[in-house]
Amino acid sequence: MVWDVLNVIGTIAFAMSGAVVALEVKYDIMGAYVLGLITAFGGGAIRNLLTGIPIIELWQQTTLFIVALITISIVILLPSSAVQLLTKWSIFDSIGLSAFAVQGAMYAQSIDLPLFAVMFSAAITGAGGGMIRDVLAQRKPIVLRDEVYLLWAIFAGFILGLDWLSKSYHFYILFTV
Amino acid sequence: MVWDVLNVIGTIAFAMSGAVVALEVKYDIMGAYVLGLITAFGGGAIRNLLTGIPIIELWQQTTLFIVALITISIVILLPSSAVQLLTKWSIFDSIGLSAFAVQGAMYAQSIDLPLFAVMFSAAITGAGGGMIRDVLAQRKPIVLRDEVYLLWAIFAGFILGLDWLSKSYHFYILFTV
Amino acid sequence: MVWDVLNVIGTIAFAMSGAVVALEVKYDIMGAYVLGLITAFGGGAIRNLLTGIPIIELWQQTTLFIVALITISIVILLPSSAVQLLTKWSIFDSIGLSAFAVQGAMYAQSIDLPLFAVMFSAAITGAGGGMIRDVLAQRKPIVLRDEVYLLWAIFAGFILGLDWLSKSYHFYILFTV
């Protein structure tokens, strides 16, 4: 349940951020869809590949795909003044990263990966999508410029890797925001 | 048979486009080979990774590797005026994308992936190689700038995913060109 | 034994090179760690993915992870004049590439891949990490600009793929340096 909520929050936030970046660098409608989807699902895809989780699970997230497509469509339909406002507002990145980092850590934790891999899984699930997005939009990856983001993600992985009380992430997400 | 023809066409077109881009951004001979090979095989490699097709099949395409190497060698041996002409002529991208998109869709279709994944397979097989090429050459990915390309690919995936008459792709390729 | 030595040398050299590049393009401490780790382990990760070696082995290299982390910490603690000196000195790239290329070729050779795949494995293990590093730092990949590097790697793969006397690589490494 918590898992699903995190997934939906992260997907919406990253799909939005990908679409906004695409419009910002003058990619067109198709580019917004591609970048939105890549941002939303790229981190999880790399995580699955590098931790040996069957990649097929990526394709069973039909609901999330539809959520992402709707989110991107809304961004595209927004007036350009609203989009400009959104570009100044990097909160989607923070929300998406927090949600996905916790989700990535929980995932790795649930299949009994070692602490190291749990921390990595949190970092890559949270930051991977945004890194691919920035590379494709020819920007310096925000995660590498603004390290606070990634520290949070790894910290989340650390906490969950040690299997401390998992109720604390609600607080965690609020805090980052 | 159709499959093999598409594969050879796509490989030649993308190997050529990768080599041309490499020369255009002043990479040298080795760079042309690397970029040509990556453009020709990158899309299929990502497709295999993300759809769970055994990656080992990538290494059984010896004929295609040789075709790609010969193509790149020819581009390198061309006089630089001919190469400059080729850079203005983005037709290789269209041909490669069309051929690989159809081939990617057929592949995904043949292993009974869901419609969503067939469309994705068409898109990534067709566009993946070019995206990596552009990232490595530090250009904005042409696929994101010129969405017409990708729409065709996804459309092809859609058609084939629905299992409509597959004879139509001959027409399709001609049309895009 | 030789294998382990190569691994440690390559890891130190690439972790250092990644951290130096990160500082050079003004990424901060976290960026140095991320880029150092990616440079050190990225090539091997892609190699494993594309040759079908179980990715899980990536996570059993705890010693190498720690070696990389220590190396990066040292680079970060260096005075900035020393770092500037290091940026002019591309020897780490050569060392890392040589060590990893030989190691990648040995790996592929040990699981009986065909000659083509052994050469590819040498190239990607040696050059993959640096390519991802350069893409994330928004530089043209040095491997594509300076082909000598990659030729060495593929040559090493060729030699080892043919199963010639493997003692020769000590000489090889010294030579490249």
Q: Rounded distance, CA B92 to CA B35, Å?
A: 15
User: Binning pLDDT at 50, 70 and 90, where does residue B89 land?
Assistant: low
Q: Based on C-alpha coordinates, what's the Rg of chain C?
A: 15
B44-67 pLDDT tens trace:
888 888 877 777 777 777 788 888
Q: Based on C-alpha coordinates, what's the Rg of chain A?
A: 15
Q: B72 versus B152: which is more confidently predicted? A: B72
Q: Which of C23, C26, C29, C30 to mutate to test the interface with A (most CBs of A within 10 A)?
A: C30
Chain A residues within 8 A of B113 when measuring between CB atoms: 59
Chain A, 67 to 96: residues with Cβ < 8 Å from chain C are: none
> Are C62 and A116 in contact (CB < 8 Å)?
yes
Residues in chain B: 177
Is there a contact between A79 and A22 (Cβ–Cβ < 8 Å)?
no
Task: Kindly identify which residue of chain C lies nearest to residue A120, measuring between CA atoms.
Answer: C59
User: Binning pLDDT at 50, 70 and 90, where does residue C88 land?
Assistant: low
Which regions in chain A score pLDDT beneath 50? 165-168, 170-171, 173-177
- Nearest CB partner across the interface for C136, out of A117, A141, A150: A141
User: Binning pLDDT at 50, 70 and 90, where does residue B177 land?
Assistant: very low
Q: Rounded distance, CA B54 to CA B135, Å?
A: 26
User: Binning pLDDT at 50, 70 and 90, where does residue B174 land?
Assistant: very low
H, E, C per residue of chain A:
CHHHHHHHHHHHHHHHHHHHHHHHCCCCHHHHHHHHHHHHHHHHHHHHHHHCCCHHHHHHCHHHHHHHHHHHHHHHHCCHHHHHHHHCCCHHHHHHHHHHHHHHHHHHHHCCCCHHHHHHHHHHHHHHHHHHHHHHCCCCCHHHHCHHHHHHHHHHHHHHHCCCCCCHHHHHHHHHC
For residues C70-81, average pLDDT? 82
Reported ipTM: 0.77
Q: Rounded distance, CA A68 to CA B108, Å?
A: 23
Q: Rounded distance, CA B154 to CA B150, Å?
A: 6
Per cent of chain B over pLDDT 70 is: 73
